[in-house]
Amino acid sequence: MDEKVNSQEGIEPQEEQQDEEKIDETNVVVNEDIDTEEQVFDEDQRDDEVTRLKEENAQLNEKIARLQADFDNFRKRTKKEKEKDLKYKAQDLATDLIPVIDNFERALQVEVKDEATKSFAEGIQMVYDQLKQALEQNDIVEIEAEGEQFDPQKHQAVMQAQEEGYESNQVIQVMQKGYQLKDRVIRPAMVKVNE
């Protein structure tokens, strides 16, 4: 009896095997349909992904271009500021020395009567000349004012008078000298102007 059962068991696996082959063939057909759908779906996804990446790339390129332009502007601005600083580097020194020059000029206006005072005045004149020369070497010059037309950029009117021989708005007298560094006025000249 055992042999019959074994022989029957042997038959059953063959039938099961045939059934399984039929199922596998069906699965292959279904799987092929699914694969085709997945490929179509994958191609759509790839197209969407490519489009998205292209847009992202364009945005990044635009951002890089803006950053590069900003950096170029920053570099140019920094260069201009350095040039400006170098151009006007002597301004602080000039601002401190101009009152000293004024005091030397007042001292030189004192009348000299004896020989001792005369040699002292000559020493003061030499120091004054050296200071003026040092300022001129750094492009700090006195603003021409007397006899010139009044210029509010360079002159500060402290008095007005009506005198003959002068045109209207012409500087009659300089009350305090003005100075400029290159094209920048450090201190405007205080002047008396004809009406």
| Sheet of 189-194, strands arranged across | 155-161, 189-194, 171-176
Token duo for residue 33: 């349909």
From CA 153, how far away is CA 84, in angstroms rounded?
A: 20
**103 CA to centre of own chain:** 41
Running DSSP on this structure, what letter comes out for residue 109?
T
- Note the pLDDT of residue 147: 86
From CA 110, how far away is CA 94, in angstroms rounded?
A: 25
Strands 140-142, 171-176: pairing is unpaired
- Note the pLDDT of residue 38: 57
- pLDDT tens digits for range 74-132: 999 999 888 887 778 888 888 899 999 999 999 888 888 888 888 888 889 999 999 99
